Amino acid sequence: MLSPSPRPEGGRHQGQRNRPHRERCRFRHRIEPAVILAAQGGLDYLVLESLGERTIALAQLKRLRDPGEGYDPLLDARRSALLPLPKRNHVRLVTNMGQANPRGAGERAVAVARRLGVPVKVAVVSGDDVLDRLDPEARVLESGRPLKELGGIVSANAYLGAEALLPALASGAEVVITGRVADPCCSWCRSPAGSAGASPTPRSWRAARSSDTRSSARGS
């Protein structure tokens, strides 16, 4: 069990570097260690990494069956455990639990926060789904066959970089939910060097407060 780390009101100590921690939350992994770290670890950022190539393909299949699905099925349980902590402990949560439906995951996280009575700002980063941009005549590198001969393709996602997350963090959101992003960028984008004066924007991102009746969307 970690001992609580004393922190000044409003955030980390003057001159102290950011204290991030990355927690892998794969299917059926326990959430308790992440809760302990967020509550007692004196962290500034907690990164929950729960996505892989097979995972996002399965999530796309779920979304095809139900457009409201496609995000991590354990989002409710994990958010219920973690959402009370950002305001109380000045820790920000960054996660790719949005999988194939980050917008749906963000809306769900806001609904969970409202149910818990927790005022928290949630930002969603999207733009990784490029299925509609595939050229059916494009050749597969391994075989040289055109994509159209492979049958139904259900998943095609690009790895977004850290620059896609910067506007979401700059919005002041305590929770940032993404789809497919490069694993290292979830940790890099929270550093002072990565976030200072950032101007790049992802294709779309969404910010909403759980205390609002409406959510605002920005991006292109």
Instruction: Specify the pTM.
Output: 0.74
- For residue 44, pLDDT over 90 is answered with no
- Residue 104: other Cβ atoms inside 10 A: 21
Q: Which of 73, 62, 77 is nearest to 30 (CA)?
A: 77
Question: At 125, is the pLDDT very low, low, confident or very high (cuts 50, 70, 90)?
Answer: very high
Q: Which DSSP state fits 160?
A: B
| Contact predicate 211/118, CB 8 Å | no
Q: Which of 196, 165, 160, 206 is nearest to 180 (CA)?
A: 160
Task: Compute the average pLDDT of residues 63-76.
Answer: 92
Q: Which pLDDT does position 188 carry in this prediction? A: 64
Task: Compute the average pLDDT of residues 154-163.
Answer: 90
Q: Which pLDDT does position 109 carry in this prediction? A: 93
Domain ranges (residues) in the chain: 20-219
pLDDT in tens, 203-220: 333 344 333 322 333 332
Pairing status of strand 175-178 against strand 121-126: parallel
